[in-house]
Structure 1
Amino acid sequence: MTAQEFFKNDRFATNAGVELIEIKEGYSKARLVITAEHLNAGGRTQGGVLFTLADLALAAAANSHGVLAFSLSSTITFLRSSGPGDVLYAEARERYIGRTTGYYQIDVTNQEGKLIATFESSVFRKGDKITFSLPQTSSDSGCPGHS
């Protein structure tokens, strides 16, 4: 099973349209095209949508070592709004990995590379093994400034 197939089992993120486009040890990148279904009453992207995008990127990066990890705490800071037609990317980077915990920072950017939100999370590494294959990474994300 590939990492992409494994994370499609995250039904909430998958149903929201989040797509895992890159994963390697300690790193992942996810993408979401914003549609009318993602908007709040003010016509901008609803905050929970941004959290879901960042959370899937976190899950992929934190579980990329083949050890089941769960979020202990997550914080998101919204910096700029987005709306219909925007393509958002969440790029997760591992900043610390220990035997039982890890720490990750995720940047959410738009198709122009502008920072939309920052997300930080600590995880608990349960120790249970999970099995999926990490694909060859591609530097072509289809968007300038998003390699």
Structure 2
Amino acid sequence: MNISISSDPQTIAENCADVIWAEDKTSRMLGITRDSVGPGTAAVSMIVGDEMVNGLDMAHGGLMFTLADVAFALACNTRNSIAVGNFCSVQFLRPASRGDRLTATAKESLLDGRNGIYDVTITDQSGRRIVEFRGHSKIVPGTHLAAASGDPAAAEV
């Protein structure tokens, strides 16, 4: 996908998310939906299906981690720089159940040079906190969006 860069931070965030989302087959397979995105933020959600529970009949921790990771990836890639996960930690606060709608909301806590820190909270449909995730990102060479020809702002990215 080749989208020209805008000077509006919200538009840049949405366009970068469009590029990433277009190739995210795992999210589609799991039924994850992209709810919102903005500079340094993102929210995604999924419903815990029958095939998403573990042997204890609770939402599988790996799938909740995946949901948080998707929100983290979108949030840290909202400024037209390619960012990858460098480290993360996850704390499972309480179980989620079959049929629960889980929403992962990512917020940038720090962006300093090539390093970012993002906090992601997963809540259920009642607003109860289920998971806390902290992701550290590293900006690597490259961009998501193509510079429009003759656009001096694009050259600064």
Contact 2:36 2:42 in 1 (8 A): yes
Match of 1:22 in 2: 36
Matched positions, count: 132
C-alpha contact (below 8 Å) 2:19/2:144 kept by paired residues: no
Between the aligned partners of 1:70 and 1:14, the Cα distance in structure 2 is: 20
Contact 1:8 1:14 in 2 (8 A): no
Shift of the alpha carbon at 1:9?
Answer: 1.4
- Shift in CA distance, 5/125, structure 1 to aligned 2, threshold 3 Å: closer
TM-score, structure 1 normalization:
0.85
TM-score (norm 2): 0.80
Once the two structures are superposed, residues 45-90 of structure 1 have per-residue CA deviations (whole angstroms, 9 ceiling, x without a partner) of 0000100000000000000111000000011100011111100000
- Note the aligned Cα RMSD (angstroms): 1.4
Q: Show the counterpart of 2:9.
A: none
Find the aligned partners of 1:91 and 1:61 in 2 and give their Cα distance.
9
Is 1:91–2:99 an aligned residue pair? Answer: no
Question: Match for residue 111 of structure 1?
Answer: 125
Pick aligned residue for 1:127 from 133, 138, 141: 141
Shift of the alpha carbon at 1:5?
A: 5.5
Is residue 92–residue 106 contact of structure 1 (8 Å, CA) maintained in 2? Answer: yes
Native 8 Å contact 1:69 1:124 kept in 2 = yes
1:50 alignment partner AA: M
How far did residue 127 of structure 1 move?
3.3
1:34 correspondence with 2:10: no
Instruction: Flag the structure with larger Rg.
Output: 2
Write 1 or 2 for the structure with the bigger share of helix: 2
SS in 1 for 2:142: strand
Hey, what's the Cα distance between the residues in 1 that align with 2:90 and 2:31? Answer: 20
1:5-37 deviation per Cα after TM superposition (whole angstroms, max 9, x unaligned) = 631412222211111110000000000011101
In structure 2, the residue corresponding to 1:113 is in which secondary structure? coil
The structure carrying a bigger strand percent of its residues is 1
Runs of 4+ in 1 over 3 A off after TM superposition: none
Percent of residue pairs identical: 26
